[in-house]
Amino acid sequence: MPTWRSPLTRTASVHSAASLPKGVSSAAARERYPRSLCLLSSFCRLPFGAAVATMQGTPRKRGTESVNVTGILYCFAAAVFWAIGPVCLKKTLESMTRTETAAARTIGFLAITIGYCLFSDNSLGWPYELSLLPTTLLLTLSGNVLGDLSYFRAIQLIGAGKAVSISSCNPILVALASTLWLGEPLTVPLILGLCFIMAGLFLLRSGPHGEGTTPSSTDAARSASGFFYAIVAAVGLAGMSLLQKWLLSRGVTPGSVTLWRSYWLSAVSWGYWAAIVTAKRERPPMLFQRGRIAWFWATVAGITGMGL
């Protein structure tokens, strides 16, 4: 049965053969182009909203322009890596289970983070108040356990493009919670940036089904489940972002926060994987029988989506 596609994730005229490139069938176009457009939308919407959110409505003092430009460039750099990460995860999940993927990708995450700390003279320990250390575990459980496992499931159900786009609504939650908890100002430019994100989310969730097509009950249930898991992922990622911002406000460096996230995540992911393997009595574990290609995608996913 043909599946429903929202206006943001399909071509302008899916059913018109005249609108397609020469040699491309309608079926091929429905399969290929919507995914490309969806990935493009997930790449652009978050940094665009963030860029609007960082704009100031009042005259700027000398030197503040560079701060805003730098922040926007970081947003685009993050968008590049966040666009690569889900694609690698999708490829990994074709050969590995979610539990195996969660464990395997920590290798790249841990390696790139330790390498960064060594080159930047960042401590590999915890040179801060010991009372702050449990917060790094809490944010790891929120974002990298609850958030990522829900994220994996959303990717399996609705694809990488939609999962990324829907879970990108987490800045809305972060902005509201930052205003209430951290006392950050809720400015008009910030509200405008959040509106762009909400508009993209609405387009992904609603819209006409297309001429002559109706979604089957199975497709509708799958889409609803995928949307739910993507929202859960957004909540988990928002919680992680808030806790990270709080740690940074207490003087903890970004490198230390990321390093200890990699420590905790490696311990939790491999510990959970070991418990599953022991319960199933896998001899030898299936994870180590996966091909090199699957391990490659898992490593790149950890480096791009989590470390960089």
pLDDT tens for the chain, 308 residues: list them: 445 444 334 343 333 444 444 444 444 444 343 443 343 344 444 444 444 344 444 444 544 444 567 777 877 887 788 778 878 888 898 889 888 998 999 999 999 999 988 888 888 999 999 999 999 999 999 988 888 888 878 887 887 777 777 776 766 777 777 777 777 777 777 777 777 777 766 666 554 444 445 566 777 777 888 888 888 888 888 888 889 989 998 999 988 999 999 999 999 999 999 999 999 888 788 888 888 999 999 999 888 878 77
Yes or no: say if 307 and 258 are a contact pair by the CB < 8 Å rule.
yes
Query: Locate tokens 């090199």: which residue?
Result: 292
Yes or no: say if 176 and 301 are a contact pair by the CB < 8 Å rule.
no
d(CA 156, CA 148): 12
* Confidence (pTM): 0.65
Query: Locate tokens 């960089």: which residue?
Result: 308
Tell me how crowded residue 10 is: count the other CB atoms within 10 A of its CB.
19
Q: Supply the pLDDT for residue 90.
A: 82
Q: Supply the pLDDT for residue 39.
A: 39
Tokens describing residue 206: 């609603």
Annotated domain spans of the chain: 7-307
Tell me how crowded residue 224 is: count the other CB atoms within 10 A of its CB.
13
Q: Supply the pLDDT for residue 113.
A: 93
Q: Supply the pLDDT for residue 205.
A: 56
Q: Supply the pLDDT for residue 54.
A: 41
Length of the chain: 308
Residue 296 to residues 13, 78, 114, 192, 268, Cα–Cα distance (Å): 37, 21, 19, 40, 21
d(CA 103, CA 107): 8
Q: Supply the pLDDT for residue 133.
A: 94
Yes or no: say if 233 and 167 are a contact pair by the CB < 8 Å rule.
yes
